[in-house]
Structure 1
């Protein structure tokens, strides 16, 4: 097939996607990335597009609060791009890929409908980075709009099986759903010095690490309560839980009274490029999220050779973690499930834990940018040839 021109519509360009987009740019005729904002206010990342053709559209940013059916709330914002349709008309891309299901994607859908009237051939893919847990409780207005867009889209790319099940529920035919996992730049973790990890069963302190915003959705406070209970029951063992990130939950976490054998280290926001080094001496990743459409930190931890103690409410855990082989799975809504997985993880001998980390690294290698790019190109070629 001839190489297509592609317009990619995103909220922002996060740093973990830059290498992937650079690789995509090399595979297509041209790639233009239209973003709603240079960087969101609640992100600590620096804007770094590294030569990509990125253009910022005119957008209105509206804050809102979402209440999830599981009881936690989130302060979020939505970007209403108001000039996406004329930008697409001017660019005339062969394929439009639009993330999420908001105003930006609605305009991409309108362009798909207008293109034949303008004498152009165009195809439209939704990049639906979501899961069943992340989308529970969406209102009927939003769901109705998504069903309408599903009828007009040529296909949808999504993270995994949970995302695919959700897309089928709103009207996408199975053959129009392309499973394209989230990936990270594995080269960032290739030369980590992991000599500081515990290598014997008589280590004094087991190091747990968690990366992400300190918000209720991440399930940090309930998980800390489980750690407190475990340490109280095991006074001869010592744990250090290192949290990388910041947010409104910090004060509540700091206020909890900890047993003497549990240390909580709050590092705050850390530069994206510095995260791998902070994983190098950890023994395992703890990821107790209550709902995550993916959870890229699971990829990153596995690439760093860490076994993962992960919530099954993260699609990354569902897709990547094999229980007791490269990590441990638990349901944060089930105290017994959490306690069982936590005990199994903390009681795993050091040698077995390191072997699980090696298995985790092999798993991460299958979730590479190269494989993600290959699947993206398959999706583009499939819809273009329809």
Structure 2
């Protein structure tokens, strides 16, 4: 007898961000699902801004395939994904910040191909939840979120039925991070900040105020900032006094595999300044490596119930530089406190945020999706994408796309999000969402 054929899941994802946390998550998840009865493939969208070759070189263990859009149009994106679904015939397709996946799924379903559609939700963002609100009744079978608050928002903000909202947290390689050879502290408190250099979520400009507050307390410290992003130049200018004195260092982005040996091995404290998070995975990495955590009370922390004040972390109000500095000063003076927090952090990650726990949660979620009845949209809900130019207006979107392909004509996009959009939602009220999220997050789990 031939062995049974495993069900297949296809993750459709950008290839423009190989150093991001989502790429790290997919790299450990996809190959490991095989042991749980799933064959996982990764559909990497391709284009001028999405470099499939570079992504594949960074993550050679993935069973990856390129999704090419030869015209750059919205209809071209939908056709490219639909063609991939027809060819690969996965049982489940998971959209990872590629919004045209949902229209492509509906298209092949109308042709009679059975397929389940899932959103992987990695953020607390109004536009993503807006997509979810629109797609849930149109054929989206489930959403899998990495955070308990995000799960609540899927139900209460986006209106998804609770049974179709599933939880699967991020995971880290506990053994690999735990095996890092840490260097002993011999002088200043060694603080690291790791993440995307931007303000709205990560609040990277809080760092200058925290450093000034540390200076006012006479704390001896060194801060290493690891990452890149739109605020790099502005941050470099603001931190110039500390950079010139050697109190701070901007070292840029590092490959995920290098963080343990090059960053956490030489750190005493990870500092988190974010306004919201669905992890963050850097906290679990640092804890696994034996680094104490000082964090803002970011939205997403409450219902998750992972960071516990005085037990495995020290917490300060979002934006409070003075209280953040006070906690860092405590750790500079109290080695026993650092050790106690680090030991409790290791235990937390081993119990809840290991790679094994994350993969197991995802396998259970996929099994649950397969057991659910498919959400079928009415045939009259689908519309062609909006006309992108004169050719669409003259010939109609479908015929125009065919002509573009025949003539080799292509739209040129200014960035990766235009080439393969993450969201199709209009501008949403982000502050209103975050206020609602903060209220939910303050409730007792």
Counterpart among 49, 56, 59 of residue 66 in structure 2: 56
Does residue 10 in structure 1 map to residue 13 in structure 2? yes
Q: Within the alignment, does 1:346 sit opposite 2:346 as a pair?
A: no
What corresponds to 2:357 in structure 1? 371
The answer on 1:214 being equivalent to 2:214 is no
With the length of structure 2 as denominator, give the TM-score of the two structures: 0.70
Provide the rounded CA distance (Å) in 2 between the counterparts of 1:164 and 1:127: 11
2:268 aligns with: 283
Structure 1 runs (4+) greater than 6 angstroms displaced: 259-262
> CA offsets per residue over residues 236-275 of structure 1, 9 Å max, x none?
x211111112334333333345479870011123233221
State how far apart, in whole Å, the 2-side matches of 1:32 and 1:188 are.
Answer: 25
Shift of 1:332: 2.5
- Of 85, 89, 107, 2:86 maps to 89
Equivalent residue runs for 1:141-160 within 5 Å? 145-151=131-137, 152-160=139-147
User: CA separation of 1:144/1:326 partners in 2, compared to 1, >3 Å: closer, same or farther?
Assistant: closer
Contact 1:95/1:124 (8 A) holds in 2:
yes
Instruction: Give 1 or 2: higher strand fraction.
Output: 1
Cα separation, 2, equivalents of 1:81 and 1:241: 45
Q: Report if the CA contact (8 A) 2:95-2:120 is conserved.
A: yes
Structure 2 partner of 1:36:
45
**Long gaps (5+) in structure 1:** 63-78
Computing the radius of gyration from Cα coordinates, the structure with the larger value is: 2
Change (3 A) 1:60 1:283: farther
CA distance in 1 between partners of 2:259 and 2:88 (Å): 37
Q: 2:311 aligns with which of 325, 338, 345?
A: 325
2:93 is equivalent to residue 100 of structure 1: no
TM-fit CA distance, 1:11? 1.6
1:270 and 1:292 map into 2 onto residues whose CA distance is 21
**Offset of 1:214 from its aligned partner?**
2.2
Equivalent of 1:126 in 116, 119, 124: 119
Unaligned runs of 5+ residues in structure 2 are 373-445
- SS of alignment partner, residue 266 of structure 2: coil
Please give the alpha-carbon distance, in whole angstroms, between the structure 2 residues aligned to 1:5 and 1:361: 34
- SS for the counterpart of 2:166 is strand
Separation (CA, whole Å) in 2 of partners of 1:345 and 1:303: 20
Pick aligned residue for 1:224 from 198, 208, 216: 208
For 1:210 and 1:173, locate their aligned partners in 2 and report how far apart those are by CA, in whole Å: 38
What is the alpha-carbon distance in structure 1 between the residues aligned to residue 25 and residue 251 of structure 2?
20
TM norm structure 1: 0.79
CA distance in 1, matches of 2:292, 2:71: 38
> 1:182 aligned to 2:167?
no
Given that 1:294 and 1:314 are in contact with CA atoms closer than 8 Å, whether structure 2 keeps it comes out as: no
Of 247, 258, 267, 2:251 maps to: 267
Work out the number of aligned pairs and report it.
347
Counterpart of 2:40 in 1: which secondary structure? strand
**Larger RCO, structure (CA 8 Å, separation 6 or more):** 2
Which residue in the other structure is 1:359 paired with?
344
Distance 2:241 2:116 in 1: 56
- The two structures, once aligned, show a CA RMSD in angstroms of 3.0
Contact 1:18 1:49 in 2 (8 A): yes
